[in-house]
Chain A
Amino acid sequence: MSWQDLQLSMSDQGYVAGDDLAMALHIALSLGRPLLLEGAAGVGKTEVARVLADMRGTNLIRLQCYEGLDASHAIYEWNYQRQLLAIRASAEGGTTGRAVEDRIFSEEFLLERPLLQALRKDTPPVLLIDEIDRADEEFEAYLLEILSEFQITVPELGTIKARSIPMVILTANGTRDLSDALRRRCLYAHVDYPDRETEMAILRARCPEIETQLGQQIVGFVQSLRGEELEKTPGIAEMLDFAAALMGLGIADLTENPAVLQATLTTLLKTRTDRDNIAPEVAQRLAGQAA
């Protein structure tokens, strides 16, 4: 399968990937290496993983990162209740010492968290480590062994090797620099807001029934809105919401009703200052340019 094939089958799933992104995915799949996707919020980084899982018919295992995320939430944890019961049971049964210890620290008593789960699947799943820059530096260090060797070391148990190499996708918003060690273990692709043609293709893929004229106006409007000074630039999901709102209201032309346009801007502008910045006149001017 070449990268163009990959691009085509992704667009069958409704994801329009740029050339750079498709190539990065192709190389990552061929080499079995993790792929780090970096870009602003709302450019469709997380969606890549979902589409990939659908395409290959495998599970998507998702780990949402947050500050303070640690090994017991991300990798594995011992099942303490069962361990306690097992110790009591074996004490009554007469087994003690080494045998009990070996038993309660065996895989039977290990609770899988997303990362371990991903390594122990027979068919390679897609593992999505979302918003890695929200986790702290310590968590990046946990990931190093998993991402380069595809194995996890549990002190009591030894090393658990991956049954199959999962396809790993990491996403980052670029709010914090990731460590060089982590970057070096990953392939890298920078995902940007799509250009006009690509965005039009995305809109057509997601809302096939949209009129071409309205579609072009929507895309033009959102593209020029991204050029304005905004706190939160509208992403692709916002653009699709905007299109759905306009179609639901039966609007055929962006410029025809300023009040409706202003009302539907709630789908694009998510903070108060942004709403204040885009006054009705500004919205009208942008819509006029797009038309």
Chain B
Amino acid sequence: MTIRSDIDYTVLKIQKDIHSKNFEEFIESSKPFIISTVSKKLGRYVNIENDDGYEIALLAFYNAIVKYKFDKGTFLSFAKVLIDNQLINYLKKANRDKQSSLEDVDIENIKDTSTGEIELKMEIQAFEGELSKFGIDFDTLVVNSPKHYDTREEARIIARKTSKEEDLVKHLFKKKRLPVTEMSKRFSVSRKVIYGSKEYIISIIIIIIKKFDLIKTWIK
């Protein structure tokens, strides 16, 4: 016996009015499910933009909404089957095209080599280089960054304020360490707070000062 979830009823309602607001909301809230299904089936992470796998899955999901009936089981398990099937078809086709084409082109990833992505990759490599001058690598940043949202936000604020002060920035880049005493005085924060997030703070200052604007979009 199938246990009916709310979702199953929601889908039936949507079928009656595809253009309703409910439809958009439902797609939006189903996004994590769709992404997770794609990721598991293809064995890779889903890109935020221009992901063929995701787009195919999305189409299959719409199809599932249209075709769903209670006797198919739960909606999600039904949708999963449709998505998986479409992804398999897509992969087969991509492999066929790959083998038959003269060039060794990875059709699935052909859109990934846009200039935007190349720029971002170069920025990140430059960022890595800058960080290494301070003895910081990405693993260090994960381990030593503040775990709490509030602490991180405070650290970001400190980083932004510091990057506006020319003398502090000079000190940082010359001595390869934060001018903690001065920062503590000027921004009225305790030294302990600064020291506790120092690698994180330094990383943000580097992003701002070195104008890694593409990376900066990831720091709010």
The reply to whether chain A is a binding partner of chain B is no
The interface of chain B, by Cβ under 8 A from chain A, is: none
The interface of chain A, by Cβ under 8 A from chain B, is: none
